[in-house]
Amino acid sequence: MPIHMQREVDRLKKQVLALSTAVEDSVREAVRSLADRDTALANKVIENDVEIDRAEIEVEEECLKILALHQPVAIDLRFIVAVLKMNNDLERIGDLAVNIAERAVFLNDRPRIEIPFDFTGLAEKTQIMLRNSLDSLVNMDAALARRVCAMDDEVDAINREMYDRVKAAIRTHLEHLDSLIALLSVSRYMERIADHATNIAEDVLYMIQGRIVRHGREFEGEKAKAPATT
């Protein structure tokens, strides 16, 4: 790799890691603002989103600059393409953290109610997925990326269970309808964060292996065979 391109790729890696850290912190603080009924912390998450948006734009611009000036190939090209995709996922995770924080602000103004599902367990699994997806990127660890992908089904199952439990709670505590719907939204936001963490892990696998891993299948640069027609 030419020395000038190496310097720009190294700078890009630092930018992505800084954005990843900011997003992970945002999710952790949003979850804590809800668990601890900390409205000030929730507002901090909301206010800090502008910095995440700015960092996302800077990463995209750096990727486009490298593509235009150096026309990378092979693994270098895969790295840039993967970062562009991850960048979008990271920005969306930041938005979802804001959504959770906004629900925390809403719920903190209302009487405390018992959460009818294991919010702590769901939050922990989701944050583990996010942390591991980012660690797989830092360490170029395909095995860890595959473990993240495998965990997504667990979070999906928890989210479905949460939906049923919230519905049951609404039937017996109609006076808490708004709060329960807000909690249901939080569960959905956590599930979406897990989906984006899975996307990042899949992009890490693409970067390392040159294979597109999606929809439960692996494509090695070839089009999927179409079903036979009669």
Domain range annotation of the chain: 3-215
Whether 10 has a pLDDT exceeding 80, the answer reads yes
Q: How confident is the model at residue 194 (pLDDT cuts 50, 70, 90)?
A: very high
CA distances to 23, 58, 91, 121, 161 from 63, rounded to whole Å, are 19, 9, 15, 36, 40
Selection from 83, 92, 106 nearest residue 11 by Cα? 83
pLDDT for the residue 36: 94
CATH superfamily membership of 3-215 = Phosphate transport system protein phou homolog 2; domain 2 (1.20.58.220)
Output the average pLDDT for the chain. Answer: 89
Question: What single DSSP character describes residue 175?
Answer: G
pLDDT at 186 over 70: yes
Under a CB-based contact definition with an 8 Å cutoff, are residues 18 and 80 in contact?
A: no
pLDDT at residue 176 is higher than 60? yes
pLDDT of res. 215: 57
Q: How many whole angstroms separate alpha carbon 181 and alpha carbon 190?
A: 14
Q: In this predicted structure, what is the pLDDT of residue 216? A: 56
pLDDT value at residue 121: 86
Count of CB atoms within 10 A of residue 105's CB? 18
